[in-house]
Amino acid sequence: MRASVLVDVARMELRELPRPEPGPRDVLLEVSAVGLCGTDFHIFGGEANYNLDRNGRPIPLAAAPQVLGHEFTGVVRELGREVRDLAEGERVVVDQGVNCRSAARTPACEYCATGDSHQCEHYVEHGITGLQGALAELVAVPAVNCVRVASDLTPAEVALTESLACVLHSSRRAAAAKARYALRATEPARAVRTAVVLGAGPAGLLFVQHLRRVDGFDGCVLVSEPDPAKRALAETFGAETVDPGTEDLAQVVRERSSGRLAEYLVEATGSGVVHEVLPQLVRKQATVLQYGVGHGRAALGLLNQLHWKEPTLMLSIGASGGFDADGRPSIYREALGLLETRTVVVEPLLTDRYRGLERVPQAFGGDHRRPGYVKGVVTF
């Protein structure tokens, strides 16, 4: 089969690889669409490498080339001999993380047993930790990681299930924290009045939709974003926007919150520069959801001023969750449901589409840095 292989930093090649052979509990998928994530670009550019040896050290790409692509959907083409609850020809979206349930490991580790499967002690991940990803014609995955698609959503839209699942997971963790302020507080004194989202990339725009359409938050949502096209998108989802390049963000937050500042903030940029202003934006004992990664060499001293305000600082990664009765990942199924009911919409986020593996080098060639780019997707 053909696959786009990352053979070294910033070097992608189209290669012929052996056809994946599904194990007894696996299915073989023909890939339909792959969302391109910031994590993919970080790995491609050499800023990150999550394929580690036994001592936790990154294995160089030159020694272990990788097939990226962890946000994907496909069509079942072959069933492992023990698979009974899927059929050839069915459309599915995939939880790319292989955990205790995926591997039928008993007893399950403490993380899988308590609904935090993304932190599985034995966790590996298609397209990120060395397991073959979906920038290929075919991929073999555990059948239990597949959630059936029963709607007319396009493959490109379905591929963003993973992105939304990550936002659901992060929002749930923030909601479960015993913070002073809450989005659904019954006591007025503890209710969030102003929420700030830093960054209107795919995650930031999904967080805005989650706040409005899932949490039902009707207070002020301010989004800071320098790109005018992204600001316009955020406004269609019910946010007010700020251009941090021309406006004093801290002053705008203070004015719009009547001097209280934000009780709830989502950092969705992964920028160390953004962190410098963060302490000026939040109220004492606010909730700060740290979603963005890739802060590079930002100094730890950026947290000093924030420290004094005693925020509930929530770090979150991935789409951890429990399992439904059939063993499938509950948060992925919930995320797909939100897309299928159009509660959350992702079509407007899909600004760049690449047809076929031949166009993958173009997708990684810098398009994601141009103005107006929100999300790229490779379709087959």
Q: At what angle do helices 202-209 and 228-236 cross, to 10 degrees?
A: 20
pLDDT at 299: 76
Reading the block at residue 48, the tokens are 């990150």
Q: Does pLDDT of 89 surpass 70?
A: yes
Q: For the chain, list the domains and their CATH numbers.
A: 2-160+346-379 (3.90.180.10), 166-315 (3.40.50.720)
The contacts of residue 373 (CB under 8 Å, 6+ apart) are: 351, 352, 367
116-122 average pLDDT score: 94
pLDDT at 300: 73
- The SS3 call for residue 8 is strand
Phi/psi at 233 (5° precision) = -65, -45
241-267 average pLDDT score: 97
Confidence of residue 297 (pLDDT cuts 50, 70, 90): low
The contacts of residue 47 (CB under 8 Å, 6+ apart) are: 294, 296
> Residue 341: how many CB atoms within 10 A of its CB?
9
Confidence of residue 273 (pLDDT cuts 50, 70, 90): confident
Whether the upstream peptide bond of residue 24 has omega within 30° of 0, thus cis, is: no
This prediction has a pTM of 0.96
Rg (CA), the chain: 21
pLDDT at 123: 95
What is the C-alpha to C-alpha distance for residues 372 and 121, in angstroms, rounded to an integer?
Answer: 39
Q: At what angle do helices 330-340 and 161-176 cross, to 10 degrees?
A: 110
pLDDT at 296: 66
The contacts of residue 171 (CB under 8 Å, 6+ apart) are: 207, 210, 214, 215, 289
Residues of the chain with pLDDT > 70, as a percent, come to 99
In sequence order, what are the beta bridge partners of 3?
Answer: 15, 136
